[in-house]
Amino acid sequence: MSKTKTIDFKMPESEAELYSRIDGNHIPRHVGIIMDGNGRWGKKYGFARVIGHREGVETVRMVVETSLDIGVKHLSLFAFSSENIFRPLMEVNSLFGLFEEILDIEVNKLHKRGIRFIVSGDTSILPERIHAKFNEAQKLTRDNDNLVLNIAVNYSGRQEIVDAVREVHKAVLRGDLKIEELTEEFFKDFLYHPEIPYPDLLIRTSGEYRISNFLLWQCAYTELWFSDSLWPEFSQEEYIRAIVDYQTRERRFGKVENL
Ligand code: FPP
């Protein structure tokens, strides 16, 4: 396969111009991405779906590099939903194999670049070896703070809310919490990663206009940005365009603008 994507900040004039339009004082603190369209990319170029996933890893590298470069401090990527386990066994196993390869090859590089790697979702359904590698990666990188890279694996937004309710129940039984004192703000503390801010911007590729059970609680007031590109084709230029567009949005969080 000849299609390669290199991270080169010596961009053509128009991209450099776009880059210069980023307001450094208004960078989204947290970007979430639903990386969709790998399978269709494979089909479009006459390959198996799994080749699309492999190609999608190049785009993952690009968004990580670009986020680091422009100062996005939290990046959440939807890598495997709880429903994806029902895909054909060959595709599921290939994805698990790909996760293992990424963990083996990339984690030390992420660590050297000061990236903290965290997981949302239940990785215990993965082969024990890979589950252990996800845990090791989180342990190794836990003190890094250049960028928090949150990978959603076997993740469901509804399940995260159900799990939080279970934790609330336990806290009430322990006597640590009175149920009538539970507020939205406090409920956040029972989510998988209460330490990271809610996403400011959520991007979805492949021309689908859905949230698909990703960070449901967290995205209540998130700005949405959709791209028609299949994930392996999603470019650095588009990512920057999404950020610049986000910076033009007026965020009111349900209130009225300042008069
Ligand atoms: C959606 O495309 C993409 C996935 C289910 C997997 C994406 C995973 C990676 C790119 C690997 C990243 C891994 C880590 C650990 C960072 P799809 O198969 O749903 O595409 P389709 O809609 O065309 O079928």
Rounded to an integer, what distance in angstroms lies between the CA atom of residue 107 and that of residue 124? 19
pLDDT at residue 4, as a whole number: 47
pLDDT at residue 13, as a whole number: 57
Structurally, at CATH architecture level, domain 28-156+198-247 sits in 3-Layer(aba) Sandwich (3.40)
Under the banding of pLDDT at 50, 70 and 90, the label for residue 1 is very low
Residue 205 has pLDDT above 70, yes or no: yes
- Please check whether residue 103 is in contact with residue 110, taking contact to mean a CB–CB distance below 8 angstroms: no
Active-site residue, 36 included: yes
Q: Which is the catalytic residue, given 8, 23, 36, 69?
A: 36
Q: Which of 138-147, 199-208, 244-253 has the lowest mean pLDDT?
A: 244-253
- Whether ligand 1 lies within 6 angstroms of the CB of 82 is answered as no
What does pTM read for this prediction?
A: 0.92
Residue 41 has pLDDT above 80, yes or no: yes
Under the banding of pLDDT at 50, 70 and 90, the label for residue 3 is very low
pLDDT at residue 19, as a whole number: 84
Active-site residue, 145 included: no
pLDDT at residue 123, as a whole number: 97
How far, in Å, is the centroid of ligand 1 from the Cα of 36?
A: 6
In the chain, domain spans: 28-156+198-247
pLDDT at residue 111, as a whole number: 98
Under the banding of pLDDT at 50, 70 and 90, the label for residue 256 is confident
How far, in Å, is the centroid of ligand 1 from the Cα of 30?
A: 20
The mean pLDDT value for 153-174 works out to 98
Give the residue, 232 or 250, on which the prediction is more confident. 232
pLDDT at residue 170, as a whole number: 98
The mean predicted confidence, pLDDT, of the chain is 93
Rounded to an integer, what distance in angstroms lies between the CA atom of residue 96 and that of residue 104? 12
Residue 214 has pLDDT above 60, yes or no: yes
Under the banding of pLDDT at 50, 70 and 90, the label for residue 2 is very low
Within 10 A of 128 (CB to CB), how many other CB atoms are there? 8
Residue 153 has pLDDT above 90, yes or no: yes
Pocket test for ligand 1, best of 5, 51, 53 (most atoms within 8 A of CB): 53
The mean pLDDT value for 128-137 works out to 98
pLDDT single digits (tens) 68-100? 999 999 999 999 999 999 999 999 999 999 999
SS3 string of the chain? Answer: CCCCCCCCCCCCHHHHHHHHCCCCCCCCCEEEEECCCHHHHHHHCCCCHHHHHHHHHHHHHHHHHHHHHHCCCEEEEEEEEHHHHHCCHHHHHHHHHHHHHHHHHHHHHHHHCCEEEEEECCHHHCCHHHHHHHHHHHHHCCCCCCEEEEEEEEECHHHHHHHHHHHHHHHHHHCCCCHHHCCHHHHHHHCCCCCCCCCCEEEECCCCCCCCCCCCCCCCCCEEEECCCCHHHCCHHHHHHHHHHHHHCCCCCCCCCCC
Strands 30-34 and 115-120: unpaired
